[in-house]
Structure 1
Amino acid sequence: MTLTKKTNPFFPAIWNDLFENNVLTPQTAVQRGINEPAVNIKENENGFSLALASPGMKKEDFKINLNENILSVSAEVEEKKEENQDKYTRKEFSFSSFKRDFNLPESVDTESITANYFDGILTINIAKKEEAKPKPAREIAIN
């Protein structure tokens, strides 16, 4: 399973990386307006498990889609706040979103994908097809 990196065909990736990740003026993801959660991908003999760190969100904020062998995880959060005190009014709002794409290997059973959101972690489990699971060792009889 691999992450999918998108590049602009009209602007070479080397220039993209140079201007976006300038070591002289480091910026955090928040300063750039990007809120992309960290992800852990684990593989075992039965399948894959993805864990996306997304604290402060609700399960309704997420969308998980499968198109061919690409699993897309996205979220949009809009927050509005209004304060009225004495003779002034303050309105604030924020909007954040992200989208992560994962290339699924042919060995997974795409019908078995499940997702759960608990304690700020979105967990996606993807089982392997039976033929892709390791077979136990066996002894061969000699005739």
Structure 2
Amino acid sequence: MFFAPVVRTRAMAPAFRSFDRSFERFVNDAFFRNLPPGFAVNEDDKAWTLTLDMPGIAREDVAINIEGAIVRIDTRAEAKRQFKAAYELPQDIDAEASAAKLEHGVLTLTLAKKAPVSTARRIDVK
């Protein structure tokens, strides 16, 4: 099947905008949303919440590393079960304000969003 992009004029935009968004959501969910079972991501204004099913893994065996917008979850080599994954989020993560909790085989990560720093400078006109 071949999909070709369609350019809509401004006059047609209001009538087709909701259809376009619905179709885009359908395609993204159907083809590009291949999340593993037992994995969920929720987002609010201040943080992302990731939940992963990790049965049989002890707290002491899990290491979580945050670098920029990438979260790496890894278990020690001596752990009963091995787990290794990396997830990239759309915005940098504030590692100091983030938290992790492992209860009953479910790892819950609360990853705080880092506020973008503006590098704009004001120049006085002389």
Instruction: Give the TM-score of the pair, scaled to structure 1.
Output: 0.47
Match of 1:99 in 2: 84
Quick check: which one's helix share is greater?
2
Which of 110, 114, 120 aligns to 2:99? It is 114
* 5+ long unaligned stretches in structure 1: 1-35, 80-94, 132-143
CA RMSD of aligned residues (A): 2.8
The one-character-per-residue Cα deviations of 1:16-71 (angstroms, maximum 9, x if unpaired) are xxxxxxxxxxxxxxxxxxxx873211111221001110112210110111234321
Alignment size in residue pairs: 82
Conserved? CA contact 2:41–2:48, under 8 Å: yes
Contact persistence 1:76–1:96 (CA under 8 A): no
Alignment of 1:1-143 (within 5 A): 38-76=38-76, 78=78, 96-130=81-115
Q: Which has the higher strand share?
A: 1
Q: Percent identity?
A: 31
Against the structure 1 CA distance between its residues 63 and 108, is the aligned structure 2 distance closer, same or farther, given a 3 Å change threshold? Answer: closer
Q: Whose relative contact order is higher, 1 or 2, with alpha carbons under 8 Å and at least 6 apart?
A: 1
In structure 1, distance between residues paired with 2:41 and 2:61:
21
- CA separation of 1:118/1:77 partners in 2, compared to 1, >3 Å: closer, same or farther? farther
Q: Is the 8 A contact 1:37 1:54 kept in 2?
A: no
Amino acid paired to 1:120: G
- Normalising by structure 2, we get a TM-score of 0.53
